Structure formats: C-alpha cells, structure tokens
A and B are shown apart, each in its own frame.
Chain A
C-alpha cells in the first residue's frame, strides 16, 4: 500500500454521497499521495466522476446532492465551514472530459482564473508560464488573441490544463481527459501529466486501462460506488487482490 515516505495530500474518510435518494458513493476511504498520479478506473456509471467532483466540491451545484464523511486536504476538511469553496477550487483545479475552453481568446482563457481571483500583477508573464507548463506555448504564442476554438481538441485540452495551472494549484483533477482525443494528442497529454507531477498531485479518472497503467503511480478500482481495490499501479495490474478487479482487468465486465 502507500509507502510511509510519501505524504498524503488528500485523505478521504468514510465518504458517502447521494443524489436524491440514490447513493452513488459508498463508504469511500482513500489516501491520495502527494506528487503522484493516482488513477481511478472502473466501468461507466460506477461513480468515478462523482467521486472526483466531490474532491473540489463541484457537486455543490446540484440540488439534491448530499454527502457524509470527510475529505481532508492537508489535514483540513474541505467541507468544513472554514473552507471557502471558491478558494478551494483555485487550489484544486479540474479538467473535464470534453475540452471546454471558454468562448474567448486563448490568452483570455488562461487569464480568466486570474481575473476572477483578483490577481492583477504580471498577468502576461503568468499566462506565458502556464502555457509553457502545459506544453502549449510554442504552438499558440503567435495567435494568443485568436479564439480558443481554433485549436485542435488536444490543444484545447492542454489549454484547459494551462487555465488551471495559471492559478498555481496544488492538486489537478482530470475527468477522462483523453476520451475525446486522438492517440497522438493523448500521448502528449500523458507525457505532460508525468512532467506536472513534479509540482502537483494528480488524480485522473479513466476507463482506459492502458492509460491508467501507463501514467499512474497508484490505481484505485471502483465498482458500483465502492472502491474495491487501491494500491501501487504495478501491483493492482499484475496481482489484483480482489476477484472483481481481476475480472475487470481481463475484460470480463466493464
């Protein structure tokens, strides 16, 4: 399991989550290690995305959402009253399944987060740094003021990552970020994630097993709202402890 020397960034304790009367997440316990990539895999509808959205309180916007248990970020419960959800989402960035740039220019997309958080100094330098960190700068530096929709799908997704990086987050959540991308864009994205983990903690939801195997250090397998198994990726993939994990990995369901 998680080795002692890796500090825990996010500690999920006994998390239950409901939409109305339907319980999507059941007693989830998980320690997300710092500066590592943690993959969450599982069949469609198992609650992966819902779980991810609990981590930066994106589920707050749904009426009828209810949650028990605790999610500790550096030891502080993110659902406690001390934590401002807007500030929290600055610290924990999120990248969605479908690239979703805003209908603004490339520059404005990256500067948007800075603007809404009242950051006014060195905007241009910050935007440039974020685009460089997202390995996009060379491709867009000559058309910063063109519409973000002129970029390819893979570029748009890296723009969405740059948009988060501009806020200097501690955690990056990615919800099947490559599902709408071609193989080359996917490879670029995965390479980028591996570079980014030097500076931040990454949680990636995927139903692409190869992707989980390629990029992640730790893997959690979710099934029907529960975490069935969690451990170093190599172990989960080669010697799964639970029969259901093994079945999923060998394509018997999912």
Chain B
C-alpha cells in the first residue's frame, strides 16, 4: 500500500517537471512567432520593389535601401572571406599540431577572450587601428577587417570542433596506409569536417551581416545616394541604417516605418543564410553517414 502511494507521488513529480519543461519550450516558440508577427505587421507595409531596388531620396523619406543591402553584403561576405582561411588554419593548428604548452594555452585563451569581447570594443579597436593608424579611413575595408576579427573566433572554434568530431577510425585508416599528417588532414579530416565548418562559416556570415557596433566608426555612413563602388568608400549597412533611422530620423512617422521594413529585409537575409546552413548539413548527413 505504502509502495503504491510512493509510486504515485513519483509519477506526479515526474509529470510536473515534464509539463513545466514543455511549457517553457512552448513559451519560446510563442515568443518567436510573436516577434516575427510584430515585425511583419509593422514592416511589411514599406516593402516594395522600389524599397528594395532604389537609393534613398529626399532625406530618406522616399526611395529605398539598396545601398544598405549592397553594403551589408560587402561587409558580411568580405569579412568571412578574410576570416575563413585564417580561422580554418588556426583550427587545424589547434586540433592537430599544437602541443599542450604555454603558447597553446595563451593562444586558446586569446581566442576565447576574442569570442567574448563586446562588439563595440572591436569597433573602437577598428577605429584606432584600421581607420586611423593604418589610414584606411572610414571605409568598407576597415569594416571588413574589424568584422573579420570579430568572427574569426567563431570560425576557429567551429573548425576545431568539426575536426575533433572526425571519427578516429578515419584518421587511423589514413595513417595506416602511410599518409602523412598533412595528407590525412587535407584528404580525410577536412573533407569529412567540411559540412560542420561550413555551418560555422554561414553562422559567422549572418553574425557579421547583423552587427552594428563594429561598423559604427569604421565603415558605416548614415545617408548615401549611391551604391558603394570601391572597398575604400564608406557604405550604408542595414543594421546601422535601422539604428540611424530610429535615432536620427527627422520624420519619425515615415522613418520608423522604413526602419521596420529594413529590419524585415535584414532578418530575411540572415534567415536565408541559416536555412542554407541547415540544408547543407542535412545534405551532408544524408550523403555521408557513418
């Protein structure tokens, strides 16, 4: 009899825990949908063909955000192209070559700290070094360098994790056939890990595209009526454009609407990248199961 009541109590306890976890999970989903809903309701009105393909006109009360879209693409893709080879190289070094010594510990510590550094600090660093000291001025180039530094740790980490996740059996098979370390990394480990590395790259691309603070002083321009043409020109960028519209807009009614429209565009771009990452991962998983 006593045993039965205890069992009942345990079952009740389990049920309570489980329901509360589920409630939290539902809450998150509901929040995300609300979030999207509000953005769409407020922003959809300003999305039009003109909005996506025109330069801003008449104090940004008319026209579109094309320079900001192009600028964001420049900055996002540029910074990842810069950080990708460096990050992958560092990831390879850390997972295959570095022996556990003081230098490796310092390197790891630096990368972890870099990953945790507030983005505004990158912005100030970029201003001091790329804009001023190296004389690149406020330009796409300075922005790319600053953002590239910011996403570097993401790429290093995802490369390192992806390489560590390569099954030991593959590595042994390769070594067993007389492959050198470099051959094993190049022909076996990297191709196997590539899907995961790519996921990291796409995530860092969306991070770079969405950041405001690092480009605040290094690349962003408030109002441009033409599309940036060279890496040495200033550029508009979506996140900064949103910020600028909301804080410095002279015509709040129109500018708020435009800001929500731009937000929707930015969100859409970032979401496309995430979906791309998911599709790529699924594809690789299907093809190479082990």
Contacts and interface: CB of A to CB of B under 8 A. Distances in A.
Contacts of B176: 56, 58, 89, 93-94, 96, 164
B173 A102 contact: yes
Contact of A96 (B99, B173, B191): B173
B179 interface: yes
Contacts of B191: 103
Contacts of B178: 85-90, 113, 116-117, 167
B133 interface: no
B287 A86 contact: no
B175 A100 contact: no
A116 B173 CA distance: 13
B194 to A, nearest CB: 11
Contact of B175 (A58, A101, A103): A58
B187 A115 contact: yes
Contacts of A88: 178
Interface in A105-140: 112-113, 115-117
A116 B177 contact: yes
Interface residues of A, number: 29
Nearest to B184: A116
Interface residues of B, number: 22
B177 A90 contact: yes
B31 interface: no
A149 B173 CA distance: 14
Contacts of A89: 175-178
B170 A103 contact: yes
B169 A149 contact: no
Nearest to A95: B176
Interface in B163-213: 167, 169-170, 172-180, 183, 187-188, 191-192
A103 B192 contact: yes
Contact of B187 (A56, A58, A112): A112
A146 B289 CA distance: 13
A167 B177 contact: yes
Contacts of B167: 100
A98 interface: yes
B290 interface: yes
Interface in B269-290: 287-290
B287 to A, nearest CB: 7
Contacts of B170: 100, 102-103
A22 interface: no
B172 to A, nearest CB: 6
A222 interface: no
A147 interface: yes
Contact of A103 (B179, B180, B183, B290): B290
Contact of A112 (B169, B172, B177): B177
Contact of A100 (B99, B173, B183): B173
B268 to A, nearest CB: 35
A58 B167 CA distance: 17
A100 B290 CA distance: 10
B288 A58 contact: no
A98 B174 CA distance: 14
Interface in A48-101: 56, 58, 61, 63, 85-90, 93-94, 96, 98, 100-101
A163 interface: yes
List the 5 closest pairs (A to B, CB-CB), nearest first: A89-B178, A100-B169, A113-B177, A90-B178, A94-B176
Interface of B: 99, 167, 169-170, 172-180, 183, 187-188, 191-192, 287-290
28 contacts: A56-B176, A58-B172, A58-B175, A58-B176, A86-B178, A89-B175, A90-B177, A93-B177, A96-B173, A98-B169, A100-B167, A101-B173, A102-B173, A102-B188, A103-B192, A103-B288, A112-B174, A112-B177, A112-B187, A113-B178, A113-B179, A116-B174, A116-B187, A147-B287, A149-B288, A149-B289, A149-B290, A160-B173
